[in-house]
Amino acid sequence: MPPSPALKETAEVTILRTSMVSTARSEHAAKVGVLMVSARWTSALGLGSMIALASLLVPGCAKPRPPEVFSVQQEEWKSGSITGRRMLTDHFEIYTTVRDEAFVELLPRFMESAHAQYRTLVPPGLENPARLVIYLFAGRRDWERFTASHWPHRAGIYRRIQSGAFTEGTTSVAYYLDRPRTLSVLAHEGLHQYVAQQIPAELPAWLNEGLACYCESFELHRGQLSFTPRDNPNRLRSLCEGINAKTLLPLREILRTHAGEVIAATDRRVYNYYAQAWALIVYLNEPPDGPHAAGLRRLLQELGTEQYRFGIGAYVAATEPPEGIPINAGEAAFHKYITADLDEFERSFRTYLLRLASLAGGDVGG
């Protein structure tokens, strides 16, 4: 990691957080072009040094938040033959070679707003933690070189990523796609970074990836930013394709899958997994006062605590494995906090998936 000399403070940004909850269905979701991640970009990014951002509060968090001011500091950055910019905010240390000035100007503000979203999902466990590090390269070639030099033992795996980024601990490494897709990728990876920092134990993959996908989608209109977890065109499209191809994964497989297994899987299985993990978190949150939402909130509140670790360990030890296959921590967490009746839950969840795809305008055959 580059040294940290004195920085020049360049701007202060006011993030205006309001209580905005969107439940509207996306009528045009299935019409959006193929994207690895999704977002709607509804205004130009000709922003000044001050910008007001409004972050969407997740269900159950309806209290308006007061304005919050944070500083953005920047300097030139050089690493070997790579030159770019280093920016510091309250919660992020960003290194980038992207030359799109409007995008770069928005980036720290966007990530701070995303961080506020993460905190509403997973309660923070640390006070004054170190900044989360982001490397964002202008092209894939520099991304691959940087990855090979810093993580040579995993570079081969990461090269399988067709577009986007990866996260190692509290550091994410990405390359630029276009404005909306890059922000969505960074919002997704940022959730992984935040969780790695705040939670001392590994999260179940279905929860970690589901929450990250839950943070992907947003609307930006005239400088106003809101996250729209339920309105994710890319995941909806993958869901429709999986339904029509009859390739959706069984619930038990989703709960048992490890994140590393997803990267090594075929494209169709990857798309299905992420779409279903996203839809699972959306489903658990509907309605916000429902029994599943309460269980999910309790799970998120207890993550990383001794109560969680001992509870999951005791549950695994005391549970007779279904079909003779021992349950892992991911499945045990779902059993303990959501429901142990997976068959009944899967029936209702599949019905919900069909309805969700239909409401989104998808042509699904069931």
Residues 213 and 242 in one domain: no
Residues 320 and 255 in one domain: yes
Report pLDDT digits (tens) over 149-186: 999 999 998 998 888 899 999 999 999 999 999 999 99
* Residue 204, C-beta contacts closer than 8 angstroms, at least 6 positions apart: 255, 329, 330, 331, 333, 334
Pick from 199, 214, 231: which residue ends a domain?
A: 231
Residues 217 and 347 in one domain: no
Pick from 231, 260, 295: which residue ends a domain?
A: 231
The number of distinct structural domains making up the chain is 2
364 occurs within a structural domain? no
47 occurs within a structural domain? yes
- The pTM of this model reads 0.81
128 occurs within a structural domain? yes
187 occurs within a structural domain? yes
What own/partner pairs with CB < 8 Å and gap ≥ 24 does 114-117 have? Answer: 114/55, 114/186, 114/187, 114/190, 114/191, 114/215, 114/227, 115/90, 115/91, 115/190, 115/194, 116/15, 116/17, 116/55, 116/65, 117/55, 117/56, 117/58, 117/187, 117/215, 117/227
366 occurs within a structural domain? no
50 occurs within a structural domain? yes
Q: What pLDDT does residue 214 have?
A: 97
Mean pLDDT per block of 10 residues along the chain (366 residues) reads: 38 28 28 32 34 31 43 91 94 98 94 94 91 98 95 92 91 97 97 95 93 94 81 94 95 88 73 96 91 94 92 88 79 95 96 90 61
What tokens appear for 15 in the block?
């993030």
Sheet holding 68-79, edge to edge: 8-15, 68-79, 82-88, 92-96, 132-137, 171-175, 165-168
Residues 122 and 44 in one domain: yes
Q: In terms of residue numbers, what domain contains 281?
A: 234-359
